[in-house]
Structure 1
Amino acid sequence: MRDTIDFGIDLGTTNSAIAVVDGGTLQVVKNHDQMDFTPSAIYLRTSSAVQVGAGALEYVYRDPDNAASEFKLEMGQANAGRDFVRAGVRLSPPQMSAEVLKSLRASAATKYGEPPEAAVITVPAAFALNQTNATNEAARLAGFTIDCPLLQEPTAAAFAYGLEDESDRATWMVFDLGGGTFDAAIVRKRDGEFQVINHSGDPYLGGKLIDWAIVDRVLAPAVASRFGLPDFHRDNPKWRMLFALLKGRAENAKVQLSTTDTAWIEVELPVAGGREDFEYTLTRQELEKVAEPFYAQAIRLCRDALTEGGLGAADVDRLLLVGSPTMAPGLRKLLADPTEGLGITLDHSQDPSTVVARGAALFASRLRLQRPMVAPKADEFTVELAYEPVVTAARTIVGGRLHSSSTVDWTRFTVVLRGSGTTSFDSGRLLLNAEGGFMTEVVVTPKETTRFTVELTDATGRRQKLSPDSLSITHTSAPELGSVVLPESLSIAKADNTAAFMLRKGISLPTEITRQFQTTTPVTRSDPNSAVVIPIMQGDRNRADRNLEVGIVYIRPSDIRYDIPIGADVDVTISVNESSLVTVIAELPQASAPIEAEIDMVNVRALDPAALAALLTDAQRRLESLRAAAQAAHAADALALFSQLDKENALGAAVELVRLARTDPGAATPAERALRALLARLDDVADALELPALFGELEEALNGCEEGVRHSGTAQERADLQDLRAQSQQAIANKDATAVRNLTERAHGLIIEIMRRSPTFDLEIFYALRQARDQMTSPRQADTLLWEGEQAISAGDYRALPGVNERLRRLLPTEVADQVMSSGRLKDKQ
């Protein structure tokens, strides 16, 4: 019986593989076709007859009504699935993925006599929470009896590459371009330990897009022209089967072009009432032309990861190539180019199609199988063992605690641990404490697996039946994998649509943080429809709606003991464990108990075609408007961003995906992600255009601080201003619009702190707010507050004004309130 998980699975978009560490040896488990990898494809003859692998892939091209592939890209979407007509069933992406996992488990069972109880399953680093949740569901459906840990694919690949690397210090970048996903990860090796320090990626960028680009931009136009078929395009259901066949031929040709200059494509077409042969010679040059936008996108993501990590290409020792598409000579040439690519030394020494599975198996060999404790039977004993299954030192600690079905005096029992191997070991008799616990140091055989027996004897020296009665510890000199890191940032979406970041990507897991927020809407027990809504977002954009919503905290009337006013304090705690499982808790004095977020990873749905079309129209209009503004202003930074967008064909790719989503539900999620990514990058263009004005606003605010500090500032305020000046210079040098805005806001805050000491400050603010009365959300409430303020002024009760001003300010939109407060400060300054 195994003590460690040992099996690792790369559950891929195009191909999947399973590897194992057995007896200290790492190997790929071959499938029933004696192949190292299994195509991630299924074919259903009936609802109970499922074929998986290469045979099923043939039916994907010839009989798409009864076969499916590339369903990994739809993981986590509640409305996704494939209909299998002959079998009369519809399967979800997790169900289809489970069939692939079952096939891999069966291959392992054939070789080792029984299927694995668990396996480490890899996922793209760029997977969202709902997608990792769907992967867990697939593992459960596949029949694994113990929870399967998830490991990010680039981390697994780096672990496999590092097995044969003897250097103590190195920095690598993983370039993982798979069939459907792309990940870039920066990995640092220090003193025998790996640590992932930054990620970037796209869960919908992969070889599949290149295959379809060959079809849509080369083969389909050639077919339409040669046979006079103006309606020959992919979103026409009439040609669905033929496009599936062309896609398969394109994929095979792409693989061939990794080693040849041309690839021959031949397809029989049902046209003109008969059948005609379509023949085409695809060249490597044509392939590279259609693939270049996808390569450019992957390279940009790598550069983003380097920039975020504070690194340059010169700081990276090697670029580790992972995924079959990285075998393309054109891609390798581009990556090696320091101008168009990355200019980092390429390392393709590992098999790109199985390196992820092998890395996962290495990681799995260091994880104990967490079998559930079984209650001991009468006259038998069980033991909970505590030890590290893989060690790098010759000595390590083993502990345990005994359990019995009845009450016993544990001090009358002893335990002996004996190790077999090149180095024998005998612990001698170990006395148990009153709770049945023991601990001892054991010696293991270097670079071998040492098996230890555990013997329990009573006071008479009679040996007792114990379960489990053995354990194994493997000694290795291979590097350790450091802590797992958060792949994408987590934030709270504030009322003004800005993201309040709680946990930034790259932080080590597990982790937890608590921050305090203020409510912007009231909740009253008399109004059942009132609520405070706290959206939890995943992503790294400062504009909240550019990120992915993964959960919501609702504070409802039923949760509170008494009414919550606007501005009430709410403590929000976000915790994330090693498998990226997120828990969010909101606490406030008015609530009867802490409130947990509804992390909905089951009902995440893609936008429908109409919503996608509207989002596309918005993106097109904004792009045209910003491009015109950039050209008119000769804004070099903005024009450079447009040049990159054009190079990646970002708009064209989004248009194509939105068009396909009308007939292919699987295209909806990639279409939505592409559109939101495009809009986010247009935000960057807008920032670049706005920078000169932002710089001016910041300088004006700093000058205001300077004047205030000179007249009545404290020593601390003078130090704060000096810090603001230094940070402002850095933000301006970096052209960081977000930092400039934040610094401007901080400068305004410093001014208000200084001005607040003026006896006329609250009076000036009140008059400024009175001028904005028509823009307040509740004119009736505003009039009441204004009357209250005027009465306080008439009575000379200026102490009442701060409270009145604060309530008036909350009736204004955030941006208007900021402007009003600024006008009040300017008046006070004058």
Structure 2
Amino acid sequence: MARDNIDFGIDLGTTTSIIAVATAADATVIRNNRQAEHTPSAVYVSRSNKVLVGQPAKDRVEEDPDNACAEFKLSMGKLDERKQFAASGRTMSPVELSAEVLKSLRGDVQQALGENIGAAVITVPAAFELDQCDATRRAAAMAGLEFAPLIQEPSAAAWAYSTHLATEKGFWLVYDFGGGTFDAAVVKVADGEFSTINHAGDNFLGGKLIDWGLVESLLIPAVRKEFPLPDLARGHRRSAGNVAKLKAAAEYAKIELSRSDTAEINLRLNDADGSPAFDFEFELTRADVERVALPLYRRSITLCRKALADTGLGAGDVERVLLVGGTTIAPALRELLADPADGLGIPLDHSLDPVTVVARGAAVFAGTQRLPARPERAERALSEGRVVLDLQYPSSGSDLEPLMGGLPPRAAERRDWTGATIEFVHTDGTPPWRSGQIPLTADGTFATRLRAGERTVSTYDIELRDPHGTLVPTDPERVSYRHTSRQGTAPTLSHSIGVGLDDNEVRWLVRKGAELPAKARAILYSTVTVRRNESTGMIRVPIVEGERSKADRNMLIGQLDLTPAQVGRDVPAGSEVEIEVRIDESFAPRADAYVPLLDEDFEIQVELGRTGSGTDLRGAAEDLADRFDELAQRLTAVQLAGVDAVEAVDLAEGFRTDDVPGEVRRLADAADVDPDAASTGENRLRDAQTTLDDLEAALVFPELAAEGRAILRDTRELVAESGSARHRTALHNAERTMSAAIASGDRTVLRRQVEVVREIIREVLEDTGQLTAVIFLAREEHLRGDPDPRVQQLLQQGRQALDAGDAARLTAVNGQLEKVAPGVVGHVDPVGGLGSTVRASDR
């Protein structure tokens, strides 16, 4: 059948994928050739290079892991990631593997409906980054889906629920706990529209972590205890087959335990040589699963609370939680979510199947999206003697009488349409309806209103008649309109886009949550001179994606390097560089730079796709632990000084509880044979580094307050012994202002008052003749081990002058020491972590 709208929606999942088609008022899941609603996201390649997708491939992941692959969704966007299939010698990227799954789903449509589709809406996690979205688009094109708009999974779920819920105004929270990712999205419903106004998510938090937790904490220890398999481990290459069997068994048992209290695991495991040898039996209980899953559930709840808090909402403001994803079937999770103290305390809605709801919602949305016009279709219609109509009308909406308009039509020969009419006929309407014959203008334009059925799709046959009343064949022959009680608004940006600056900070241009399409512009300034004739200097503008305050903690998605060979004249430091970023409705970015001095535009190369970081996870875990220990010591010093540091304490306690260094070490052990473990470890590492950045920032004010109190204490003693009335008055005023600054958290005033107190110390020492001695003693302490004989000779002379009370001679020695061994000045790197050579403003 010919379709006006896309109509098909695909949930391309980490563990399973589903395709659905829009119906009159809802959507229907299309079953595969095994009559299952979902297809495992798994691929197998045989020795003869035959590709199997779905359940046959998933079964082989356990038996033949060298030639089968699953859970590759989280590697989307990685340019250097490839799975090698040993028997055939073939290698495939995550994009190619995903394309095979999409081809399989297209084949299911062909078998079920007889349609060879070339367009579908595809879902992506709300937390997906731009390169992962781009990889999904490329997989779609590779699979023959030439037109594949993307929709975020929580938004798709909201589309599905919108066809069933009667809410007129309020908020929903979409809780989407899938196989590989977690998303929490806040949806606002008002005036017949719903929109996602905020989200929080984790691309590495999913049900598969529960599976791995069961394998590593229960099943592997049990196998080792019973059988001679001491090397059995997730990261041991020769154990891959046994580990794959244990993980599959854990997944099946976990699902069964959503309905029962115990599940039996019975497996035939291989010996060290790979031959079947051991019969493993294990009784897994619901309590086992809950113990492993509880920390993950709590992590998801923290993200939900963050999404709500960032929107200024509380539990009482949200009407319902929409449950999405297979993990939400677990009774313990539902009980926890409903708990007002430990969970969310918001009513749960699981009226739709959480496993298929995303695909169904994507299809409902697809039913509102018109297929793009195809020029070749119009040319073919003209060659067949048809008149090509240019109709302007909404594909969907809440209006029961949508406006239909026509622009000048195209025909093989130029025509005068005076006296011609057009009529729209809805024969399936209740009752059947005709628009009546609408006269066309001389150039063929017209406008009218149609009558649509409520909450269904209305299809109208088109009857174009020439001035003699003769029917004229048209393209299209019919059009359709979907009436909906609610419409979703524009998609929103998942992660902020900005420019990395020379101090490693970020100038954010388009913030997370912005409606798409979006664009923003900023004026920056170069920090280096680009000299054309001397071939020196370079203007570097890094474009980053993320939310972290430090530029190099975010994802680098593009970079401009403006070199001497690209400029027609010298560009001095401080020159303006105007940056513009644009993101379209399908999350595709573009960035440009304009240099007014050159009056020239430069496209910033946006290369969506990441390469392996080469991070030594084990070493990084140790560095992380060492850095935390140093920060913890600084926090202890602040607390001993009696300074309040609530934020820093909370961050430190959270870091200890999460034990990220330990988690990264465990993932590093598995990363040698499990690319997913490496990706998860790198993500957790970046998050932990950001947490420590936040902890260090949270210590700045408390440490400054502790320094202020310490210097006040020393200054009081000095002024009491040697100060004048003027010094006592100045100290009293500084102490009062400093106390107020500490109480109000005013860092600027506090820092200024610390310097004021230092100046009081200097004045007292100078007035009492002690300043020269203090300066010498500080130099003596610093230079005691200096190997330069001149330095040691001057120190000896200074000590003699100090002992003799010869102030003039001591002053002369200080001056000579400053020349021979000047004070050490800390090196400051002129560029930030990404090598940026632009700054936000003149300074």
Other-structure match for 1:369: 371
Other-structure match for 1:16: 17
| AA matched with 2:29 | V
Q: RMSD across aligned C-alpha pairs, in angstroms?
A: 3.0
CA distance in structure 1 between the partners assigned to 2:748 and 2:28 by the alignment: 53
CA distance in structure 1 between the partners assigned to 2:631 and 2:623 by the alignment: 12
Other-structure match for 1:442: 450
Other-structure match for 2:199: 199
Q: How big is each residue's C-alpha offset from its partner over 1:147-198, in whole Å with a ceiling of 9 and x where there is no partner?
A: 1110000111122122211121121111111111111111111122111110
| AA matched with 2:227 | F
2:635 is the alignment partner of 1:626: no
TM-score in terms of structure 1 length: 0.81
Other-structure match for 2:116: 115
CA distance in structure 1 between the partners assigned to 2:425 and 2:751 by the alignment: 66
Other-structure match for 2:336: 334
Q: How big is each residue's C-alpha offset from its partner over 1:46-95, in whole Å with a ceiling of 9 and x where there is no partner?
A: 56522221222111111111111101011110111211122221111111
CA distance in structure 2 between the partners assigned to 1:136 and 1:744 by the alignment: 53
2:480 is the alignment partner of 1:475: no
CA distance in structure 1 between the partners assigned to 2:752 and 2:120 by the alignment: 50
Aligned positions of 1:608-687 closer than 5 A:
608-610=614-616, 612-634=617-639, 635-687=645-697
Aligned positions of 1:18-57 closer than 5 A:
18-46=19-47, 48-57=49-58
2:603 is the alignment partner of 1:596: yes
| AA matched with 1:251 | E
Aligned positions of 1:271-310 closer than 5 A:
271=271, 275-310=277-312
Other-structure match for 1:392: 398
Helix, strand or coil at the partner of 2:101: helix
Contact 1:423 1:444 (8 Å CA) reproduced? no
Other-structure match for 2:562: 555
Helix, strand or coil at the partner of 2:549: coil
Q: CA deviation at 1:35?
A: 1.3
Q: 1:343 to 1:633 in 2, by over 3 A?
A: farther
Q: 1:78 to 1:319 in 2, by over 3 A?
A: same
Q: How big is each residue's C-alpha offset from its partner over 1:209-232, in whole Å with a ceiling of 9 and x where there is no partner?
A: 111111111111222233344322
Helix, strand or coil at the partner of 1:395: coil
CA distance in structure 2 between the partners assigned to 1:531 and 1:190 by the alignment: 51
Contact 1:383 1:402 (8 Å CA) reproduced? yes
Which residue among 357, 360, 366 is the counterpart of 2:359?
357
Q: CA deviation at 1:661?
A: 2.1
Aligned positions of 1:238-257 closer than 5 A:
238-257=238-257
CA distance in structure 2 between the partners assigned to 1:404 and 1:742 by the alignment: 70
Aligned positions of 1:83-98 closer than 5 A:
83-98=84-99
Aligned positions of 1:58-457 closer than 5 A:
58-145=59-146, 147-271=147-271, 275-374=277-376, 375-376=378-379, 377-378=382-383, 379-404=385-410, 408-412=414-418, 414-420=420-426, 421=429, 422-432=431-441, 434=443, 437-457=445-465
Q: 1:200 to 1:457 in 2, by over 3 A?
A: same
| AA matched with 2:629 | E
Q: CA deviation at 1:691?
A: 3.2
CA distance in structure 1 between the partners assigned to 2:502 and 2:416 by the alignment: 60
More displaced, 500-509 or 43-52?
Answer: 43-52
CA distance in structure 2 between the partners assigned to 1:743 and 1:251 by the alignment: 58
More displaced, 545-554 or 447-456?
Answer: 447-456
Q: 1:209 to 1:812 in 2, by over 3 A?
A: closer
Q: 1:658 to 1:433 in 2, by over 3 A?
A: farther
2:478 is the alignment partner of 1:466: no
Q: 1:5 to 1:272 in 2, by over 3 A?
A: closer
| AA matched with 1:466 | T
Q: 1:418 to 1:650 in 2, by over 3 A?
A: same
| AA matched with 1:138 | A
Aligned positions of 1:685-700 closer than 5 A:
685-693=695-703
TM-score in terms of structure 2 length: 0.80
Contact 1:497 1:544 (8 Å CA) reproduced? yes
CA distance in structure 2 between the partners assigned to 1:405 and 1:744 by the alignment: 79
CA distance in structure 2 between the partners assigned to 1:2 and 1:653 by the alignment: 50
Contact 1:8 1:119 (8 Å CA) reproduced? yes
Q: Which runs of 5+ in 2 are unaligned?
A: 640-644, 710-739, 754-827, 833-842
Q: CA deviation at 1:368?
A: 0.7
Aligned positions of 1:710-729 closer than 5 A:
none
CA distance in structure 2 between the partners assigned to 1:732 and 1:491 by the alignment: 35
| AA matched with 2:449 | E
| AA matched with 2:621 | L
Helix, strand or coil at the partner of 2:371: coil
Helix, strand or coil at the partner of 1:367: coil
Helix, strand or coil at the partner of 1:314: helix
Contact 1:319 1:344 (8 Å CA) reproduced? yes
CA distance in structure 2 between the partners assigned to 1:520 and 1:320 by the alignment: 50
Helix, strand or coil at the partner of 1:561: coil
How many equivalent pairs are there?
Answer: 715
Other-structure match for 2:552: 545
CA distance in structure 2 between the partners assigned to 1:407 and 1:17 by the alignment: 47
Contact 2:741 2:749 (8 Å CA) reproduced? no
Q: 1:311 to 1:179 in 2, by over 3 A?
A: same
**Greater C-alpha Rg:** 2
| AA matched with 1:683 | D
Q: CA deviation at 1:255?
A: 1.0
2:543 is the alignment partner of 1:536: yes
CA distance in structure 2 between the partners assigned to 1:402 and 1:215 by the alignment: 66
Q: How big is each residue's C-alpha offset from its partner over 1:95-123, in whole Å with a ceiling of 9 and x where there is no partner?
A: 11111111111112222111322111000
Contact 1:41 1:54 (8 Å CA) reproduced? yes
| AA matched with 2:18 | A
Q: CA deviation at 1:402?
A: 4.1
Q: 1:447 to 1:219 in 2, by over 3 A?
A: closer
Contact 1:171 1:187 (8 Å CA) reproduced? yes
Q: How big is each residue's C-alpha offset from its partner over 1:495-531, in whole Å with a ceiling of 9 and x where there is no partner?
A: 0000111111111111111111111122222254632
| AA matched with 2:579 | V
CA distance in structure 1 between the partners assigned to 2:352 and 2:473 by the alignment: 47
Q: 1:698 to 1:417 in 2, by over 3 A?
A: farther
CA distance in structure 2 between the partners assigned to 1:231 and 1:607 by the alignment: 28
| AA matched with 2:651 | L
Contact 1:695 1:732 (8 Å CA) reproduced? no
CA distance in structure 2 between the partners assigned to 1:658 and 1:626 by the alignment: 24
Q: 1:429 to 1:77 in 2, by over 3 A?
A: same
Contact 1:77 1:606 (8 Å CA) reproduced? yes
Q: 1:445 to 1:65 in 2, by over 3 A?
A: same
Q: 1:224 to 1:486 in 2, by over 3 A?
A: same
Helix, strand or coil at the partner of 2:605: coil
Helix, strand or coil at the partner of 1:443: coil
Contact 2:26 2:364 (8 Å CA) reproduced? no
Q: How big is each residue's C-alpha offset from its partner over 1:120-140, in whole Å with a ceiling of 9 and x where there is no partner?
A: 100001111110011001111
Helix, strand or coil at the partner of 1:311: coil
Q: 1:87 to 1:563 in 2, by over 3 A?
A: same
Q: Which runs of 5+ in 1 are unaligned?
A: 700-728, 748-810, 816-824, 826-830
| AA matched with 2:388 | T
Q: CA deviation at 1:15?
A: 0.8
